[in-house]
Amino acid sequence: MAGGMMQAARIECEKAEDRDTLVVILARNGYSVRQVKEKPNPKGTRYAYFVEYWKGGVAREQ
């Protein structure tokens, strides 16, 4: 990939404890990770929670 940028993969995960566990597992295996929350519907009140991960470099926004 040009400039060391990589596309981040996502895992949807509702429970905070499960997201934390995923972050630890991925980070210990050499991945860069971050937790993201988004509103699937701009008028809604619910959020969708994700763990994004990528190997090395800087992740490119989707």
**Distance (Å, rounded) from C-alpha 45 to C-alpha 30?**
35
Question: pLDDT digit string (tens) for 16-47?
Answer: 999 999 999 999 999 999 999 999 998 989 99
Q: Nearest Cα to 47, choosing from 8, 11, 12, 9?
A: 12
The helix (H) or strand (E) run that includes residue 6 is strand 5-7
How does residue 7 score in pLDDT terms, banded at 50, 70 and 90?
Answer: confident
Number of structural domains in the chain: 1
**Distance (Å, rounded) from C-alpha 54 to C-alpha 44?**
29
Mean pLDDT on 2-9: 71
Question: pLDDT digit string (tens) for 48-62?
Answer: 999 999 997 666 665
Parent domain of 6: 2-60
Biggest CA pair distance of the chain: 38
